[in-house]
């Protein structure tokens, strides 16, 4: 097959490209230029898609003897990921930009361009597994997305937005390997990126200051922090910068009556108010989501699933039911805390990803 290997400049995508070449595919390396300010180098291990990364990717491609190109998707990334991120926070929701990037950039804009140029698929350095129909673990007779064998690096959560068509053209060569093994393999292949630090956090916020980034786009909007009784206990620079479950950075001016910590339990961006309360108020039993995306046919009726609401969170035993117009209702067996609108809930059947939805609201049953 003719494969585009998405090469970020890191160790994972370097080994992924090498493995696709070893498997006999016709591989072309592609680095995505996603930043409109690519001349700005990363800060420590943060950030990605810089000139530094492009150079690292090119050196790996040269060592592998494969063609290498830089594709400019900065406008699409700005519109579909960065602007979406700001708009979601402005509306009082807490998005995950990595899911949006996978949904709209890597397995949409990139994959569409690759197919238009005659390629058969896209390979990335994500830690996840594709299980083919002839694999004994396959339960559907279709290509399935599964968790990686390395639980610490598993990225199936951020890939849970992939639909069946996107899954058909995706390749994840690292899913059966641990990260230490990948670094060893990269070193054995002579890749200079073998010891390169991982990028982390939000790639387009290189200094890690999400609230500062939002303030630069949305402006300062001073308002009140109130307790559940409506008493003012502090002030903030914009309700958009707070999320349900947050404890740090509140700078409350009045302690709680019992002296216990308080957490963000609600935000109202229309009123520009942040509500804080005791930890007990964070627990929820039901998650309602929309914009469901399925890695195969949607479930019929209420089914038993595992539900995950954070990229590196635990899997929660639950049941889920698909409703009309892309709605999903998830009933958790045990109460979970700190779940915010805008996050994604990804559903699993064992290690298999069933699908995902964007959380619109949550409920407590008692």
What CATH number did the domain enclosing 241 receive?
2.30.30.280
Looking at residue 38, its pLDDT comes to 52
**Do the domain assignments include residue 58?**
yes
Can 98 be counted among the known catalytic residues? no
pLDDT at 43: 46
In this prediction, residue 279 carries a pLDDT of: 92
Return the pLDDT at 246.
93
Identify the pLDDT of residue 251.
Answer: 86
**pLDDT of the residue at 200:** 67
In a domain, 97, yes or no: yes
Q: Quick one: 118 and 227 in the same domain?
A: no
Do residue 95 and residue 231 come from a single domain?
no
294-303 as b/e: b if 16+ CB within 10 A? bbbebbeeee
Answer whether residue 85 is part of any domain: yes
Whether residues 180 and 265 fall in one domain: no
Please report whether residue 161 resides in a domain.
Answer: no
Low-confidence residues in the chain, pLDDT < 50: 39-47
Output the domain CATH number for residue 111. 3.40.50.620
The active-site residue, picked from 48, 98, 101, 295, is 101
pLDDT at 2: 96
Residues 117, 231: one domain? no
DSSP notation for 265-278: EEEETTTTEEEEE-
User: Given 49, 98, 203, 295, which residue is catalytic?
Assistant: 203
pLDDT of 105-164, one tens digit each? Answer: 999 999 999 999 999 999 999 999 999 887 777 777 788 999 999 999 999 999 999 998
Is 49 catalytic? The answer is no
The parent domain of residue 256 ranges over 220-277
Together in a domain, 45 and 185: yes
C-alpha–C-alpha distance, residues 40 and 182, integer Å: 28
Identify each DSSP E strand in 211-257 by its residue range: 223-227, 232-236
Domain count, the chain: 2
Residue 45: per-residue pLDDT: 42
Residue 208, pLDDT score:
81
**CA–CA separation, 103 and 166 (whole Å):** 9
Give the pLDDT confidence score for residue 46 in this predicted structure: 44
- Which residue in 280, 288, 283, 281 sits closest to 334, CA to CA? 283
> pTM higher than 0.85, yes or no?
yes
């Amino acid at each position: 097959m003719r494969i585009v290997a998405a090469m970020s400049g890191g160790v994972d995508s370097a080994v992924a490209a090498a493995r696709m070449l070893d498997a006999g595919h016709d591989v072309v390396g592609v680095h995505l230029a996603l930043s409109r300010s690519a001349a700005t180098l990363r800060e420590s291990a943060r950030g990605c898609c810089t000139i530094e990364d492009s150079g690292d990717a090119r050196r790996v491609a040269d060592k592998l003897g494969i063609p290498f190109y830089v594709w400019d998707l900065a406008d699409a990334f700005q519109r579909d990921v960065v602007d979406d991120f700001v708009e979601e926070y402005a509306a009082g929701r807490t998005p995950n930009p990595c899911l949006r990037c996978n949904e709209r950039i890597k397995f949409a804009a990139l994959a569409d361009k690759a197919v238009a140029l005659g390629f058969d698929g896209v390979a990335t350095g994500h830690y996840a597994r594709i299980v083919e129909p002839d694999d004994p673990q396959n339960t559907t007779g279709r290509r399935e997305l599964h968790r990686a064998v390395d639980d610490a690096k598993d990225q199936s959560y951020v890939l849970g937005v992939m639909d069946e068509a996107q899954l058909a053209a995706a390749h994840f060569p690292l899913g059966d390997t641990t990260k230490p093994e990948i670094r060893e393999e990269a070193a054995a292949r002579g890749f200079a990126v073998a010891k390169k630090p991982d990028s982390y956090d939000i790639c387009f916020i290189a200094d890690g200051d999400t609230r500062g980034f939002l303030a630069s786009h949305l402006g300062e909007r001073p308002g009140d922090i109130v307790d559940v009784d409506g008493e003012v206990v502090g002030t903030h620079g914009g309700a958009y910068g707070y999320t349900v479950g947050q404890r740090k950075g509140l700078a409350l001016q009045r302690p709680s009556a019992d002296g216990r910590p308080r957490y963000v339990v609600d935000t109202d961006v229309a009123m520009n108010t942040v509500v804080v309360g005791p930890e007990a108020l964070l627990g929820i039993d039901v998650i309602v989501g929309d914009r469901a995306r399925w890695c195969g046919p949607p479930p019929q009726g209420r089914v038993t699933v595992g539900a995950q609401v954070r990229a590196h969170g635990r899997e929660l035993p639950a049941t889920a039911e698909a409703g009309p117009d892309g709605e999903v209702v998830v009933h958790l067996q045990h109460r979970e805390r700190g779940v915010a609108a805008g996050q994604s809930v990804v559903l699993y059947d064992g290690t298999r990803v069933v699908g995902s939805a964007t959380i619109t609201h949550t409920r407590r049953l008692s």
